[in-house]
């Protein structure tokens, strides 16, 4: 089986990471086109990419526009029926693309496929896509679990992470791509929700293995990082009406607990202020329904959800 594949990589500096990622892509068994969108890198990434990677299409932005816009512009520059969005801090096995896109070729109802990303030690799972609880809080699926659990069916898969995922172009375009109002965090989660609402299925390809080296773009638990995570959460709370309906009480309790915890540990209101700013920004955004029940991991109860939130907090997001 073969398909036209566009691989889109947004970058903002860190040339050595990008070069390593491209080296692994060059060894892929599946033919593909690589589009790198240089989002106004503070280093000489754009110049070096153009000089040292002539087979790669390099797009450059005059100003930093953020992950969502960079990805959307890269995807729009291509035309392949399958789009793979890849972080530059992910390195892939030679059969990664071949195995990642195979489910899309086998199932016309699937709009996206997620890969298995491991931690740098290769012994634990970084993520097998994303999952969502009934409050529409999103979590990296199976994070921290041993690799033997990569085939697990629970928690229920919602869709791919922004670090490595394949999308049917028709599904991506129908959903409108990534939400550009989200400046950092939850862009991939929001797209996964919209794809499921539109009726597209999501599949996992745990045989498609990449190593996620991780990033410290915003700084570990920095105020800006926690504000940004709160902004995206507040935006989505309003967009999906999560503070209304039968799960509103649990949603409010969870958010209050998270904000209070952030205040206790960080001694500021960054998480709350981010949420309020995101909530205000979403006031003119069209309200969207919840995704179908089969897209929600109902097995994630309140206690499990708070435990997962603590894990996210440890990474600096709230």
> Is residue 195 over pLDDT 80?
yes
% of the chain exceeding 70 in pLDDT: 95
Lowest model confidence (mean pLDDT) among 77-81, 196-200, 299-303: 299-303
Taking residues 65-81, report their average pLDDT.
Answer: 97
Q: Which two tokens stand for residue 209?
A: 């293995």
Report yes or no: 20 and 91 within 8 Å, Cβ to Cβ: yes
**pLDDT tens-digit readout, 120-171:** 999 999 999 999 999 999 999 999 999 999 999 999 999 999 999 999 999 9
Domain count, the chain: 2
Q: pLDDT tens digit string along 230-251?
A: 999 999 999 999 999 899 999 9
Question: Is 183 a member of any domain?
Answer: yes
Asked whether residue 318 carries a pLDDT value surpassing 60, the answer given is: no
In a domain, 217, yes or no: no
Does residue 243 share a domain with residue 208? no
Task: Tell me what pLDDT residue 3 has.
Answer: 67
Token code pair at residue 16 = 């050595």
The sign of the dihedral angle between the CA atoms of 24, 146, 306, 287 is positive
- Spell out the residues 6+ positions from residue 296 whose beta carbon is closer than 8 angstroms to its own: 132, 133, 134, 156, 158, 290
C-beta of residue 84 within 8 angstroms of C-beta of residue 5: yes
How are beta strands 110-118 and 164-168 bridged, if at all? antiparallel
Q: Rounded mean pLDDT of 67-71?
A: 97
Say yes or no to pLDDT of 209 above 90: yes
Q: Are residues 252 and 205 in the same domain?
A: no
Whether residues 206 and 289 fall in one domain: no
pLDDT at residue 98 above 80? yes
Residue 69 shares a structural domain with residue 152: yes
**Structural domain boundaries enclosing 247:** 223-314
Residue 142 to residues 124, 126, 137, 257, 311, Cα–Cα distance (Å)? 9, 7, 15, 23, 12
**pLDDT (tens digit, 9 = 90+) per residue, 280-293?**
999 999 999 999 99
Does residue 313 carry a pLDDT above 80? no
Q: Are 125 and 238 found together in one domain?
A: no
């Amino acid at each position: 089986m073969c398909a036209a594949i566009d691989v889109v990589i947004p970058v903002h500096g860190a040339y050595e990471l990008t070069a390593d990622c491209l080296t692994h892509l060059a060894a892929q068994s599946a033919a593909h086109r690589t589009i790198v969108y240089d989002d106004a890198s503070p280093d000489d990434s754009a110049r070096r990419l153009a000089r040292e990677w002539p087979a790669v299409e390099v797009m450059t932005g005059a100003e930093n526009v953020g992950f969502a816009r960079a990805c959307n512009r890269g995807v729009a520059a291509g035309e392949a029926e399958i789009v793979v969005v890849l972080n530059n801090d992910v390195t892939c096995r030679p059969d990664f693309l071949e195995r990642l896109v195979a489910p899309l070729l086998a199932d016309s109802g699937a709009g996206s496929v997620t890969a298995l990303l491991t931690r740098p030690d290769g012994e634990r799972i970084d993520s097998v896509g994303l999952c969502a609880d009934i409050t529409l809080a999103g979590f990296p699926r199976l994070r921290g679990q041993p690799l033997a659990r990569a085939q697990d069916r629970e928690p229920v898969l919602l869709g791919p992470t922004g670090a490595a995922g394949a999308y049917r172009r028709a599904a991506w375009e129908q959903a409108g791509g990534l939400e550009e109002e989200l400046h950092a965090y939850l862009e991939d989660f929001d797209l996964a929700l919209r794809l499921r609402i539109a009726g597209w299925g999501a599949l996992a390809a745990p045989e498609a293995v990449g190593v996620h080296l991780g990033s410290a773009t915003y700084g570990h638990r920095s105020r800006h990082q926690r504000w940004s995570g709160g902004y995206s959460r507040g935006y989505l709370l309003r967009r999906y009406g999560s503070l209304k309906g039968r799960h509103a009480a649990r949603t409010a309790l969870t958010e209050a607990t998270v904000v209070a915890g952030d205040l206790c540990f960080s001694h500021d209101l960054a998480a709350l202020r981010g949420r309020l700013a995101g909530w205000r920004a979403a006031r003119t955004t069209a309200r969207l329904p919840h995704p179908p029940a089969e897209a929600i991991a109902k097995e994630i109860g309140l206690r499990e959800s708070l435990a997962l939130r603590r894990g996210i907090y440890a990474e600096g997001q709230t």
